[in-house]
């Protein structure tokens, strides 16, 4: 009886033992499935840019939505100082900036650097536009420098039509880039007319025979075609060069068209999921991949010093 009782007791315990094992494994599987499902959920990410760069910001957000797992971006148009302050306070995850940094921004960058990475996004072409009645269709860089210095006020002085030359610049990032690229950071001539926004610059250029407006492609009303009543002006390196248009992405990538705004991304550093995943996705992209995501040509390889000036980009 004693042996029989023992066998029955062990037999009774076996289902309980194996049942507990199956229950434990099921709980572990459920936890694993929950983790996998959580990894597939859209990642909230807060993105900001200045109002004039809204179209670039929307392209960046579209790119983030297409990632795996997808991001769920919330976009804002903010003045740059406010955007960077929010990034430093971990209230933003990503800020898109164009142009060269001002001295004040460079100082802010030094304070921000431990909290954010700085990545190159691409080259935003700045188009030269003139009224369609102007028969002039080409400028070389030396002539453009003289225009920005205020030494040229008529197109015939740069081998063009017998028309007054009236130049319009809208935003501070464009003016700063022109100063950096052509004037060694010296001020633009007072004869260069500063206007409130791109719409004003385009309308002023449309109404002025002999106008010359500086407008980035992404800020055109319709980026795929020239604004109504205006035409593109080719920019050449020197008098012997045929020149290229701002719409020629290959010319920008090869350094043959050298009038562009650098596009830079500030990516928040952190150990939370949005920061880690953003850093993983954006840092893993080649320059060409990120530029393509923004609808921009590749950054100009032949001019790394000009490209990197002032930004101290992080390596990828």
Helix axes 141-149, 172-182, angle to 10 degrees: 120
Is 241 exposed, middle or buried (CB count within 10 Å of its CB: 0-12, 13-18, 19+)? middle
End-to-end CA distance of the chain: 77
- Output 143 or 309, whichever has higher pLDDT: 143
CATH topology of domain 125-253: D-Maltodextrin-Binding Protein; domain 2 (3.40.190)
The pLDDT of residue 9 is 52
What pLDDT digit, counting tens, does each position of 11-64 carry? Answer: 555 444 444 444 456 888 777 776 667 667 889 999 999 999 999 999 999 999
Query: Which single residue is written with the structure tokens 């197109």?
Result: 155
CATH topology of domain 43-123+260-308: D-Maltodextrin-Binding Protein; domain 2 (3.40.190)
The DSSP string of 65-81 is HTSSSPEEEEEEE--HH
Mean per-residue pLDDT, 64-85:
92
The pLDDT of residue 24 is 58
The pLDDT of residue 75 is 97
The pLDDT of residue 287 is 64
Mean per-residue pLDDT, 161-180:
93
- Answer whether 43-123+260-308 and 125-253 agree in fold: yes
The pLDDT of residue 49 is 97
What pLDDT digit, counting tens, does each position of 267-288 carry? Answer: 999 999 999 999 889 887 876 7
DSSP code of residue 227: P
| Average pLDDT of the chain, as a whole number | 85
| Annotated domain spans of the chain | 43-123+260-308, 125-253
The pLDDT of residue 105 is 83
The DSSP string of 124-148 is EEEEEEEETT----EEEHHHHHHHH
The pLDDT of residue 255 is 83
What pLDDT digit, counting tens, does each position of 194-235 carry? Answer: 999 999 999 999 999 999 999 999 999 887 788 999 999 999
């Amino acid at each position: 009886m004693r042996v029989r009782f023992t066998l029955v007791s062990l037999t009774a315990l076996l289902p309980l033992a194996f049942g507990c094992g199956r229950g434990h494994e099921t709980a572990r599987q459920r936890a694993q499935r929950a983790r996998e499902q959580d990894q597939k959920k859209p990642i909230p990410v807060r993105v900001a840019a200045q109002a004039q760069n809204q179209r670039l910001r929307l392209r960046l957000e579209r790119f983030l939505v297409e990632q795996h797992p997808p991001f769920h971006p919330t976009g804002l148009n903010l003045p740059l100082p406010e955007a960077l302050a929010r990034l430093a306070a971990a209230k933003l995850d990503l800020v898109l900036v164009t142009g060269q940094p001002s001295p004040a921004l460079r100082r802010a960058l030094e304070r921000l650097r431990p909290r954010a990475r700085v990545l190159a996004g691409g080259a935003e072409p700045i188009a030269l536009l003139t009224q369609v009645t102007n028969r002039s269709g080409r400028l070389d860089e030396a002539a453009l420098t003289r225009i920005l210095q205020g030494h040229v006020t008529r197109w015939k002085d740069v081998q063009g039509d017998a028309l007054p030359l009236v130049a319009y610049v809208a935003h501070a990032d464009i003016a700063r880039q022109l100063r950096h690229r052509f004037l060694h950071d010296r001020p633009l001539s007072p004869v260069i007319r500063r206007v409130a926004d791109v719409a004003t610059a385009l309308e002023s250029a449309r109404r002025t025979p002999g106008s010359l407006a500086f407008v980035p492609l992404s800020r055109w009303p319709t980026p795929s075609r020239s604004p109504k009543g205006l035409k593109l002006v080719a920019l050449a390196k020197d008098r012997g060069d045929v020149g290229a248009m701002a719409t020629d992405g290959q010319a920008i990538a090869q350094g043959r068209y050298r009038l562009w705004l650098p596009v830079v991304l500030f990516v928040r550093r952190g150990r939370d999921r949005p920061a880690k995943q953003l850093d993983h996705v954006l840092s893993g992209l080649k320059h060409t991949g990120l530029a393509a995501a923004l609808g921009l040509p590749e950054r100009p390889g032949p001019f790394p010093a000009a490209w990197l000036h002032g930004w101290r980009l992080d390596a990828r």
